[in-house]
A and B are shown apart, each in its own frame.
Chain A
Amino acid sequence: MLSLPRSLARARPLVPSRHIHSQHRTTSFGFKTIPEESKESLVKHVFDSVASSYDLMNDASSLGVHRLWKDAFVSTLKPGRKGPLRCIDVAGGTGDIALRILDHARESYADRETTVDVLDINAHMLKEGFTRFKKTMYHNTPQVSFHEANAQDMPHSLFKDDSYDLYTIAFGIRNCTSIPAVLKEAHRVLKPGATFACLEFSKVNNPLFSTLYDQYSFSIIPLMGTILAGDRESYQYLVESIRKFPSQPVFAQMIREAGFATGGDRDGGAWTDLWGGIACIHTAVKL
């Protein structure tokens, strides 16, 4: 990551000194630098904690706008337009994207054969998604299934090579320990010619808008977490992790390095900025 040299200078060992020699790989957890092995369990704690109020907090902190972003994301992809798709929605937890995919296929193209496999590393989040789906017509149908798995290391028995038409990951990739590993797995499970799509928070390039956005993120969002969910630290982590995520061109390059073909390095090419770059849709095709 870009800021790794600076964060390494600030890093401090977390375990007794006799273990230092084995800890040379670090990653970021918000603004903190931590050993790579720790990130997964720390992120797990965050999502265990936020799962029950996740949807409420999304609505409160984005003032409902996350729904528009997710709608735009799925509309861009047009699932079902060229026939039924086998989709995999990774870090799909509470099922927002999976539901939109199935609804879009059904409403726009009368497609009831498209399937979505929802994958998440966190069982609490999956449970919320499963419960949400129980209120829909897709419950107990082959159209949706839920799996607890790690996006960086999906079991080959369940998630075979070259088997999916669409891979989506929305607001999940920045929480993963190693983005290249996630991209590699995405490349593995997608069929040649299939689409990779990622919706994620990104860099706001306009300096004035960026200042306002920072103020809002660092002042209001942790307070909302305190007030609505009784949990400031998880939301402090969430807003910090947004700042640590690579910028649009850097992420696009990482996607290409995983073996995907993208559009040009500009807004409208490899990525599409939403709301000035607060969120961003990256799309790519497996070669």
Chain B
Amino acid sequence: MSVLASFARRSTPYVKPIARSFFSPTVGSQHPAYQGHIPLNRFENAFLAAGSALISLANPRRGDMVAALGETTAGPSLDILRDRMLESPEGRRILKQRPRVTSQSVDMHKLAQYPQGTFGRSYVTWLERCGVTPDTREPVHYIDDPELAYVMQRYRECHDFYHCICSLPVNVESELALKFFEFANLGLPVAAISGVFGHLRLDAKKRARLFSEYLPWAVKCGGSARSLITVYWEERWGQDVEEMKRELGIWDPPEARWSKPLSEAAKAAAARK
């Protein structure tokens, strides 16, 4: 696929309009505004929103469909997030520098060097504890404004940082708890949709715990915390985690179910040194 994609980038001097529709007038420019941009008209956007919603529910492993759902349902929420970012100096730095979370900026070995109790070290510990790596997220395709596309990309790439700062692992109930938190904190419709439909995949006991314990935490904590999209995580690797949580207004949720105990993960993180 990458052969075709790179080919598409190189070979067309004339960028042919991609989308036309009988159903609604052309929305904005129909030419790609950035690499990977796929302009959609209103009908196509709705179609993709519906299709990606169904596939995300049926097969949550389709990360590209979850991403598409987020983009097609974003609406005005990305404008609001950008305004939040513009209101804070840290957010403005993010918009100006447009940091990306890649294997260079998240060098696991370098982060493991940080002292115990710092954000960098606790992030590596979290990755070990969940048995995940910082993988490359699906690039944004369906947002027309390049800056808002970056905001969406930033949200997607910072998702794991939210996991870490909220001390939540990657199983289904914790992901849903985090989605509720994200909706309360950032206001993205996809977070609400994932929460509202995602719990159908849980058994009754987990669902009960989700709604009785995690949902109140998510709403209270997410609603009162600082907007996490304005946090420049890459500047804060050395910051003490507890101090960071106080600064952002986050407290721990009810104890979650981890795949590895903390002691084991901490040992593994130390072993990276």
Contacts and interface: CB of A to CB of B under 8 A. Distances in A.
Interface stretch (B10-18, B80-88, B112-120, B215-223): B10-18
B38 interface: yes
A186 interface: no
Chain B interface secondary structure, helix, strand, loop or mixed? helix
A214 to B, nearest CB: 8
Contact of A226 (B12, B20, B41, B48): B48
B99 interface: no
Contacts of B1: 45, 49, 231, 233
A4 interface: no
A1 interface: no
A70 B109 CA distance: 58
> Which bracket fits the contact residues of A?
20 to 34
Contact of A10 (B7, B14, B43): B14
Contacts of B22: 211-212, 215
Interface stretch (A109-117, A160-168, A177-185, A216-224): A216-224
A57 B4 CA distance: 19
Interface string A224-256: 101110111110010000000000000000000
B44 interface: yes
A217 to B, nearest CB: 11
B51 to A, nearest CB: 4
B200 interface: no
Contacts of A226: 48, 51, 64, 68
A209 to B, nearest CB: 13
Interface size class of B (residues with CB under 8 A): 20 to 34
Interface string A146-186: 00000000000000000000000000000000000000000
Given A45-B1, A219-B21, A227-B65, A233 B8 contact: yes
B10 A14 contact: yes
Nearest to A215: B22
A211 B21 CA distance: 10
Given A223-B51, A226-B48, A227-B51, A10 B4 contact: no
Contacts of B51: 223-224, 226-227
A233 B4 contact: yes
Contacts of A214: 20
Contact of B47 (A211, A215, A223): A223
A67 interface: no
A32 B48 contact: no
B271 interface: no
A46 B62 CA distance: 20
A232 B48 CA distance: 12
A218 B19 contact: yes
Interface string B146-171: 00000000000000000000000000
Interface in B44-73: 44, 47-48, 51-52, 55, 62, 64-65, 68
Contacts of B38: 232
A12 B68 contact: no
Contact of B64 (A219, A220, A230, A237): A230
Contact of B5 (A10, A220, A233): A233
Contacts of A42: 3-4, 7
Contacts of B21: 215, 219
Contacts of A211: 22
Contact of A223 (B12, B20, B48, B64): B48
Contacts of A215: 20-22
Contact of A12 (B5, B13, B16, B41): B13
Interface in B181-198: none
Nearest to A224: B51
Contacts of A212: 22
A45 B14 contact: no
14 contacts: A45-B3, A215-B21, A215-B22, A218-B19, A218-B20, A219-B20, A219-B44, A223-B44, A226-B68, A227-B55, A227-B68, A230-B64, A233-B4, A233-B8
The 9 closest A-B pairs by CB, nearest first: A227-B51, A233-B4, A12-B13, A215-B22, A45-B3, A32-B11, A219-B44, A230-B64, A223-B48
Given A12-B13, A45-B1, 8 more contacts: A32-B7, A42-B7, A219-B47, A220-B47, A223-B48, A226-B51, A230-B65, A231-B1
